[in-house]
Each structure stands twice: as C-alpha cells, then as structure tokens.
C-alpha cells in the first residue's frame, strides 16, 4: 500500500496561500457547529518519525478555538499507566461531547513501536488489533467522529530531516540515537505500518494517507479531509441519520432467577465457622495477587436492598485496606453523561496487584438505564456486546473478574 504512494506531490506557495485561508475559516465554522451539536471529535496523527506530525497539528489548530480542543503527545507510560491495560490511558483522554482530542501518536504504538522494538510478545500485539477495532467501534457507535491520518515519507527523506535537525544547535536535542536506529529499521517499520493500515481500516474508521514530503501539500490535504468528514458528520446528526447498525437480540426463554432457591440458609454457628475460614483465605489471596501483580475486579449487581453493602463490608473485613478500593457507583453526573457510558468505569480500573470493588457496574446500562429509558433501545441492545468485549479485553490484560448477582 505505502510503496505505491506518490511522495513527489507538492503545492506552489502562491496557490497554498490562496486556498488555506478559506479552509481555516471553514474549519473554524464547522468546529462551532460540532460543539453546538455536541459531537465529540477524535483526531489521530500517526506516521513516520520526522514526517511532520507536530507541524501539521500546529497548522490545523491555528484555525480552531483553543477552548475546544486538547492535544495529547504520546510519551512513555507512567507507573499508573504501565500497570493497567494499554487502552486505559487513552480512555482517560477522550473528549466530552462537543470537544476535540488530538493525538500526536496514539494507541497504535502497541502494534508499531512496541512490536518492532520487541517490547511485547507477538501474541499481545496481534491481540491488540482486535482490541483497537473494538475500542474505535464503541466510540463511533456512541457518536464520536474519529479521523485518522497517516503521514508518509520515504527512508531518504526521513534521514534528510534527521540530519537537518541534528546539525542545528537549537534542534539537535530532538534527534536521539533511537531516531537514527529507527531510520535503519525503516523496512521493519514499513512492514508493521502496512499490516496496521490493512488490519485497522474498517469502512466506519478508515485511514487517510497523507503524502508528507511537501508540508504545504500535506496541510491542504489534511484540511480538506477534516472538513469533508466533519461536514458529513454534522449533516448526519442534523438529519438524525442512524450511522450505527440496528441491533437485534436472540430471544432468551430459559428463566434463571425464577429457578433460584431463596430458602437456603446457614445457622449462625455454620456461618461463623465458614466465614472465619474464608476471611483468612481472602487475606492470603490479597497478598498473593499483589506479589504477582494481578488486577482484580469484583462486581456487584442485584435487586435493590439485596444486601450488596453488607456483603462488601463482610468481604473486606479482614483485607488490607492498602490493597483494595470500594467504588460506589451512583447515577452518572453531567461530565460522565458527556462521555461513553463505559468511560467512568475505565477510569476506576485498578492497577495490577490491586482490587477494585464496584457496588454497581456497567450492567446498569441494560438494567436501570434501559428500564428508565435513559438511553435508546438500540443503545442498550448494543451494550451487551460492548460489555462482553470490554470484559474480554480486561481478561486478556490479566484481570480476574468476579461477578455477583444478589437475589
């Protein structure tokens, strides 16, 4: 794919000046429209080192209201990020409705840098392709517009730009040994990029390849694509066009809760004997999961007044309070409502070696939010798959997930 791209494309300076001002005004207008319509925007810039990501982002944001966007530059993960699923830090940077997040490199580092530099096992970066597609689809189905740009230059141009930066005292600090190493590994990165572009290019979230040898040509192309996609999204929202698939569910006729024997009891003596054994075992397991860096998620659902609070109190009675956190889940506040419904739960995920206990969970989407009509029928029907996918992602990340229904 990339080898067939014509990188000689360029634009005359005078022509650029004639075009860019109109595009800047148009994009500023569309940003205001998107904010009024509460459309969340996610702009991803990926591509080669020295391809001009920073420059193009700067050219783009000069036409925008700075109160309506944030730019995130991907850096080495912090300790908090390192001990959580790789998508955790990106969930935390998602825009609320009407705002924009711009990523100078993104979640695709999992299948590029970490892959080529052998920082993770092959099974992990292979698995990441599916997790990324799930992540993007969940956001798009929730009304986000994701625009992905890949900035392409050849090996010779990359080396030329590194050399120019390195020879200037003011910019030499920007070129590291790793950069030169990456230039030598150009073919390895090309293989990884080709696979990334093919495997993460669904019709609802396609890649836009930008020929980036000439900055002016690249800038105009980025503006045109951004404007075209944002105009289309705005028209879809205004016309209430459904951009997500209509969900149908198989009928589930086998009753579960009605068959539960609610007459089961323990005597006080039986309870105390079993409880004493269990609380000691729980304490032992808490230390083991910390040593082995295993994240644990304990989730409670059930009827109101079924005893969730009392149950949690008993479970944690003999636990080390430094190793767990009980997270009460109330009705979503205004900030949480302005994001994907899973956003607030991703924020509360425990780091490896710790335990999070939710007294309510994301299943509220298909329970109280469904019954109270907080979300549309298609929203809650779609949530079954989204929840299953999310739990699978956590399982792949090493989580132990324990779910209790109190009847």
Domain positions in the chain are 2-238, 257-406
CA distances from 181 to 121, 173, 175, 284, 365 (A): 21, 16, 11, 47, 48
> What pLDDT, on a 0 to 100 scale, did the predictor assign at position 75?
87
Residue 308 in tokens: 């969730």
8 A C-beta contact, residue 162 and residue 180: yes
Kindly state which CATH superfamily the domain 2-238 is placed in.
Answer: P-loop containing nucleotide triphosphate hydrolases (3.40.50.300)
**Cα distance between residue 45 and residue 147, in whole Å:** 9
8 A C-beta contact, residue 249 and residue 384: yes
8 A C-beta contact, residue 233 and residue 140: no
pLDDT (tens, 9 = 90+) of the chain, 407 residues, equals 899 999 999 999 999 999 999 999 999 999 999 999 999 999 999 999 999 999 999 999 999 999 999 999 988 899 999 999 999 999 999 999 999 999 999 999 999 999 999 999 999 999 999 999 999 999 999 999 999 999 999 999 999 999 999 999 999 999 999 999 999 999 999 999 999 999 999 999 999 999 999 999 999 999 999 999 999 999 999 998 766 666 777 666 667 888 899 999 999 999 999 999 999 999 999 999 999 999 999 999 999 999 999 999 999 999 999 999 999 999 999 999 999 999 999 999 999 999 999 999 999 999 999 999 999 999 999 999 999 999 999 999 999 999 999 99
Same fold, 2-238 and 257-406: yes
8 A C-beta contact, residue 354 and residue 325: yes
Which of 198, 199, 162, 196 is CA-nearest to residue 179?
Answer: 162
> What pLDDT, on a 0 to 100 scale, did the predictor assign at position 252?
65
Largest separation between any pair of C-alpha atoms in the chain? 89
The answer to whether the predicted template modeling score (pTM) of the entire model surpasses 0.75 is yes
**Cα distance between residue 186 and residue 158, in whole Å:** 9
- DSSP H helices in 142-258: 155-167, 177-184, 186-199, 215-238
> What pLDDT, on a 0 to 100 scale, did the predictor assign at position 256?
85
> What pLDDT, on a 0 to 100 scale, did the predictor assign at position 154?
98
Kindly state which CATH superfamily the domain 257-406 is placed in.
Answer: P-loop containing nucleotide triphosphate hydrolases (3.40.50.300)
All residues at 6 or more sequence positions from 200 whose CB lies less than 8 Å from its CB, including other chains: 108, 111, 129, 132, 133, 136, 207
8 A C-beta contact, residue 212 and residue 52: yes
Q: What is the SS3 assignment for 144?
A: coil
**Cα distance between residue 80 and residue 82, in whole Å:** 6
Q: What is the SS3 assignment for 357?
A: strand
> What pLDDT, on a 0 to 100 scale, did the predictor assign at position 11?
97
Q: Rounded to 10 degrees, what is the CA torsion of 356, 359, 361, 367?
A: 170
Beta strands per DSSP E along 48-99: 69-73
> What pLDDT, on a 0 to 100 scale, did the predictor assign at position 8?
97
All residues at 6 or more sequence positions from 370 whose CB lies less than 8 Å from its CB, including other chains: 380
């Amino acid at each position: 794919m990339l080898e067939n791209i014509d990188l000689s494309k360029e634009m005359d300076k005078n022509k650029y000046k004639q075009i860019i001002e109109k595009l800047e005004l148009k994009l500023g207008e569309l940003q205001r429209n998107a904010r009024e319509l509460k459309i969340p925007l996610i702009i991803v810039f990926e591509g080669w080192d020295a391809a001009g990501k920073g420059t193009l982002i700067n050219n783009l944001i000069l036409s925008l209201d700075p109160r309506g966007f944030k730019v995130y530059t991907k850096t080495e993960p912090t300790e908090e990020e390192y001990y959580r699923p790789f998508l955790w830090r990106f969930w935390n940077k998602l825009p609320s409705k009407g705002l924009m997040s711009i990523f100078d490199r993104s979640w695709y580092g999992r299948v590029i840098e970490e892959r080529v530099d052998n920082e993770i096992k092959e099974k992990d970066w292979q698995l990441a392709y599916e997790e990324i597609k799930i992540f993007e689809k969940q956001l798009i189905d929730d009304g986000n517009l994701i625009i992905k740009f890949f900035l392409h230059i050849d090996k010779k141009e990359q080396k030329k730009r590194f050399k120019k930066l390195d020879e200037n005292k003011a910019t030499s600090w920007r070129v590291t040994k790793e950069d030169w190493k990456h230039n030598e590994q150009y073919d390895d990165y090309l293989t990884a990029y080709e696979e990334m572009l093919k495997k993460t290019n669904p019709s609802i979230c396609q890649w836009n390849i930008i020929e980036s040898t000439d900055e002016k040509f690249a800038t105009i192309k980025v503006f045109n694509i951004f404007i075209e996609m944002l105009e289309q999204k705005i028209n879809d929202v205004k016309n209430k066009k459904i951009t997500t698939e209509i969900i149908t569910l198989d009928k589930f006729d086998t009753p579960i809760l009605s068959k539960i024997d609610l007459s089961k009891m323990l005597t006080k003596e039986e309870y105390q004997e079993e409880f004493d054994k269990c609380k000691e075992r729980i304490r032992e397991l808490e230390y083991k999961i910390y040593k082995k860096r295993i994240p644990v998620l304990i989730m409670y659902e059930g009827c109101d007044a079924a005893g969730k609070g009392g149950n949690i109190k008993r479970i944690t009675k003999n636990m080390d309070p430094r190793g767990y956190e009980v997270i009460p889940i109330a009705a979503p506040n205004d900030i949480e409502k302005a994001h994907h419904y899973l956003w607030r739960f991703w924020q509360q995920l425990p780091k490896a070696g710790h335990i999070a206990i939710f007294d309510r969970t994301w299943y509220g989407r298909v329970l109280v939010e469904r019954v109270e009509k907080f979300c549309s029928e298609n929203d809650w029907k779609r949530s079954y798959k989204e929840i299953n996918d999310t739990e699978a992602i956590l399982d792949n990340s090493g989580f132990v997930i324990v779910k209790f229904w109190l009847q």
